[in-house]
Structure 1
Amino acid sequence: MSGSSTRRWPVWVAVGASIVVVLALLIWLNPFLLIDTSVDVYLRTHGVSHHHVDVDGYQIHYLEAKAPAGSPDKPLVLVHGLGARATDWAPLIPALAAHGYHVYALDLLGYGSSPKPRDGDASLAVEEHITSGFLQALRLDKPDVAGWSMGGWVAMKLALDYPERVRRLLLYDSAGLYFIIDFPHTLFTPTDRAGFDALMQRIEPDHPRMKMPGFVIPGMLRRFEKNRAIVDSSFHSMLTGREILDFRVHALQMPVLIVWGTEDKLTPLATGLRLHELVPQSVFVGLRGCGHLAAAECSKQVLPETLKFLDAEPPLPASINYLDAPK
């Protein structure tokens, strides 16, 4: 090795060490940065694009994935849950588009890359209004509408209030029916490690899972704090009881798919089964070993069941079926 090469070697070590330190600092400050960037790269490389559309003076952000050229236009709108964002649908979006669906996944008002409400109101009624305006702004003619958790509640309200505007309704571990809440109201806005662990225990199944390293927790808690007012507004509107749909869902006339993780500890399996009973034409799919995040963590089972439901002509008859999650 030459003398000049030997002298350069410590320089490259210093540069490399500096990069590592900067990356570590960035991850500590914003532990979601790496995840968000990876998801965005995945979506963009699979043809998913970012857009904004004006809805009531708000620039609502959404993801769009087009079906292969020459496909008939079959719009599918995805509505995320409490404290979530459009990118949570990432495991399903490219595959749904590849199978012929024109996918739109919006960030509800106050969530993701959409602006916060000017008056701080992110209630279910407001989010339904935003979703309805989103369909109008993009001139979506009777799309299929899918909702996950709180997004299922919003989607059901939309389908009940504007049945002529929804072709088929898809619900994944959906909120909307009454059940006893056996967790603190602060569950979704943790302020310490214990609170964060309690949230993870609720949204994930009981089987062993990766424990989040302690050094990233402060950054995660900062993100929860940033979104606290919006999440509290949405959750408060869910707790008032005025929007409970137990006595309305029987009026749903379109085909309905209900997908549920059997280990869901947030919206219990019994709630999904009761929803199936109240909507006689519904198709129920239980996913054994999956929790509240079944639509993402068990997407390999969710996708074929979703496509089977969407593609069926005539619509699938009412049924109950259970599938095993991958080991």
Structure 2
Amino acid sequence: MKRTAKWKWLASALLASIASLGLAFWMRPLSVFDTINQGQMFFSGAKSSSVEVDGYRVHYYALGPAEGPVAVLVHGLGGRAEDWDKLTPYLVKAGYRVYLPDLPGFGHSEKPANFSYSVADEAKIVVGFFDALGLKQVDLGGWSMGGWIVQLVAAEHPHRVRRLMLFDSAGLYVKPDWDTSLFTPTSAAELDKFDALLMPHPPVLPGFVAKDILRTSHEHAWIIRRAMDSMLTGRDTTDHLLPDLKMPVLIVWGEVDRITPLAEGEKIHQLIPQSRLDVVPACGHLAPNECANQIGPVVVSFLKQ
């Protein structure tokens, strides 16, 4: 009887735990996904750390051999360091020490109310990040808004950037032909429209997942809007800076990108004489994640030249 009672207790405890986990996933699926992503980063060998830059706490991951050549990858608007998790294994396997910072306002970094969230100020944070970690010269990559940021870094601190990589990058003086308010969706219909901009074949989201995305979007909308409003002024655009870049530049673009269309990648290529443009067929704005198997070997080949 005692053994039977013990098994019944264990079974009840297990069912209660499963029910609690199920409820947590139902109520806050994004938190569960975030925990899973952090676990994946940990098991990939990534070390999670933070450093103070210009008075702000900046979180970052570091992975790969400590003595390897350094690559720093900067995420885009609304993104985070984990967005690079599909691409970084290619660099690590090639022997690179990879740093993935969360920009202020994003991921696990501080979200200060007194920060502008402009690309110019984010670029200063990236340079400060180099200084805080003692990184004298790096191979630098940026995706979307992150691409804009690293263009500014490369133009203003060319001695710090050995090679530059731009992935579906913003930065040109171009007015978007899509509704920029979709970056802060307020309804399931707007979320569907935004996903269609990001991906050629967006997944169908369960209602409870969409609800949690909208809740999170509402919480962080002020950061996205402040950054977007700054970008839309056009004051930090890079058209006039790109022809003066001297370092080798790799431009990677999703063929069917609707956020920053391929025509923008082609123009950047024209403005940088020594650049190389690699177009990824049937891929959209999320190319570094969704098409990493095609992009990874290209990036490694470029860095090894």
TM range (shorter): over 0.9
Name 1:165's counterpart in structure 2: 160
Query: Is 1:116 paired with 2:111?
Result: yes
How do 1:201-240 residues align onto structure 2 when only pairs under 5 Å count? 201-205=196-200, 207=201, 209-240=202-233
Name 1:142's counterpart in structure 2: 137
Name 2:32's counterpart in structure 1: 34
Give the secondary structure class of the aligned counterpart of 2:180: coil
Name 1:61's counterpart in structure 2: 59
Give the secondary structure class of the aligned counterpart of 2:73: strand
Give the secondary structure class of the aligned counterpart of 1:62: strand
Q: Distance in 2 between matches of 1:85 and 1:226?
A: 16
Cα offset, 1:59, TM superposition: 1.6
Kindly indicate whether the alpha-carbon contact (under 8 Å) linking 1:120 and 1:229 is maintained by their aligned counterparts in 2. Answer: no
Give the secondary structure class of the aligned counterpart of 2:59: strand
Kindly indicate whether the alpha-carbon contact (under 8 Å) linking 2:198 and 2:259 is maintained by their aligned counterparts in 1. Answer: yes
AA in 2 matched with 1:36: D
Report the identity percentage. Answer: 42
Q: Residues 288-321 of structure 1, C-alpha deviation per residue, up to 9 Å, x if partnerless? A: 0111000011011110000000000xxxxxxxxx
Give the secondary structure class of the aligned counterpart of 1:59: strand
Q: Residues 162-192 of structure 1, C-alpha deviation per residue, up to 9 Å, x if partnerless? A: 1111111000000011333122231111111
Q: Distance in 2 between matches of 1:53 and 1:8?
A: 49
Give the secondary structure class of the aligned counterpart of 1:212: coil
2:294 to 286, 295, 301: 301
TM-score normalised per structure 2: 0.94
Q: Distance in 2 between matches of 1:276 and 1:52?
A: 35
Gaps of 5+ in 2: none
AA in 1 matched with 2:167: Y
Kindly indicate whether the alpha-carbon contact (under 8 Å) linking 1:145 and 1:168 is maintained by their aligned counterparts in 2. Answer: yes
Does the C-alpha gap of structure 1 residues 146 and 138 become closer, same or farther in structure 2, counting only changes over 3 Å?
Answer: same
Cα offset, 1:4, TM superposition: 6.3
How do 1:65-76 residues align onto structure 2 when only pairs under 5 Å count? 65-67=63-65, 73-76=68-71
Name 1:292's counterpart in structure 2: 285
Give the secondary structure class of the aligned counterpart of 2:181: coil
Q: Distance in 1 between matches of 2:14 and 2:38?
A: 26
Name 1:322's counterpart in structure 2: none
Name 1:101's counterpart in structure 2: 96
Name 2:261's counterpart in structure 1: 268
Q: Residues 110-166 of structure 1, C-alpha deviation per residue, up to 9 Å, x if partnerless? A: 111111124142111110111110011111111011000000000001101111111
Q: Distance in 1 between matches of 2:267 and 2:248?
A: 17
Q: Residues 81-109 of structure 1, C-alpha deviation per residue, up to 9 Å, x if partnerless? A: 00000111111223312211111110001
Q: Distance in 2 between matches of 1:35 and 1:302?
A: 25
Q: Distance in 2 between matches of 1:272 and 1:115?
A: 32
Q: Distance in 1 between matches of 2:3 and 2:224?
A: 58
Q: Distance in 2 between matches of 1:305 and 1:34?
A: 33
Name 1:21's counterpart in structure 2: 19
Q: Distance in 1 between matches of 2:301 and 2:24?
A: 43
Name 1:47's counterpart in structure 2: 45
TM-score normalised per structure 1: 0.88
Normalized per residue, which structure has more helix? 2
Name 1:247's counterpart in structure 2: 240
Name 2:146's counterpart in structure 1: 151
Cα offset, 1:36, TM superposition: 1.7
Cα offset, 1:259, TM superposition: 0.3
Q: Distance in 2 between matches of 1:271 and 1:155?
A: 16
Kindly indicate whether the alpha-carbon contact (under 8 Å) linking 2:73 and 2:141 is maintained by their aligned counterparts in 1. Answer: yes
1:92 to 73, 84, 87: 87
Does the C-alpha gap of structure 1 residues 12 and 210 become closer, same or farther in structure 2, counting only changes over 3 Å?
Answer: farther
Kindly indicate whether the alpha-carbon contact (under 8 Å) linking 2:90 and 2:300 is maintained by their aligned counterparts in 1. Answer: no
Q: Distance in 1 between matches of 2:179 and 2:258?
A: 13
Kindly indicate whether the alpha-carbon contact (under 8 Å) linking 1:159 and 1:166 is maintained by their aligned counterparts in 2. Answer: yes
Q: How many residues align?
A: 305
Kindly indicate whether the alpha-carbon contact (under 8 Å) linking 2:140 and 2:161 is maintained by their aligned counterparts in 1. Answer: yes
Q: What's the RMSD between the two structures over aligned residues?
A: 1.8
